[in-house]
Amino acid sequence: MNIADRTPADLLRSALAADPGRPLLTYYDDATGERVELSAATLANWVAKTGGLLQDQLSVARGERLALLLPAHWQTAVWLLACAAVGVVVEVDGDPAEADVVVAGPDRLDAARACSGERIALALRPLGGRFPQPPEGFADYAVEVPGHPDTFAAYDPPGPDDPALVVAGRALTGGELLAAARADAAERGLGPGDRLMSLADYDTWDGLAAGLYAPLAVGGSVVLCRNTDRLDVAALAARRESERVTHFAH
């Protein structure tokens, strides 16, 4: 945690400065058996490359709007943090027809075609794999992102008063997002080094706070789980123990 953090982009910078090797986001998908562990350094690398894709390849600028049609997933967290770095306003489950850019998973491509701007598709396959056949009318994220630099600097960095996020009808500036994340962390009793396991989706503020922003705001980390309906109580309890989970949200 760094009390000097003023924008959502500062959260990752603070985590990186504190301990780049610390596991920051661990992701499970119980439909595929996937487990991905991202250190602060690895997550920052993905965010930098995605920021470069947005800013340098797609020419997306601060204040433009991005419809994010993705589930709770480690790559979704990357996009949220990359947009924060560029200053792009993320509209979770936003209307693609009203967005400058749309980012969609494989089950949302038909809806995403309503966007007249740039369209990015994510296969959401294990290990960040690409589509076997690129979807027509979309750039494949897994193909486009690797060539971008491992570091990122915004041409026009966002400030705390800039719009940052719209989720479930709630609009937040960068500063409001940080304040809400810290309030959520305080309500949950989260502190530095705590590890929160979240089963919640990213389509509400509560889900985003539990699965990303609140732990980062106080120097904690996240265990993000998807499709846990396939687990029994004992298996979920064993995961909580093996991942040294201190807090739980669903």
The total number of structural domains that make up the chain: 1
78 in any annotated domain? yes
Distance separating the N- and C-terminal Cα atoms of the chain: 24
- pTM for the complete prediction? 0.97
Instruction: Note whether 204 and 194 are within 8 A (CB).
Output: no
Beta strands in 136-210 (DSSP E): 139-140, 163-167, 170-173, 195-198
2 in any annotated domain? no
Query: Which CATH number goes with the domain that contains 150?
Result: 3.40.50.12780
1 in any annotated domain? no
Task: Convert the pLDDT of each residue in 165-212 to its tens digit.
Answer: 999 999 999 999 999 999 999 999 999 999 999 999 999 999 999 999
Task: Convert the pLDDT of each residue in 80-135 to its tens digit.
Answer: 999 999 999 999 999 999 999 999 999 999 999 999 999 999 999 998 999 999 89
What's the chain's average pLDDT?
96
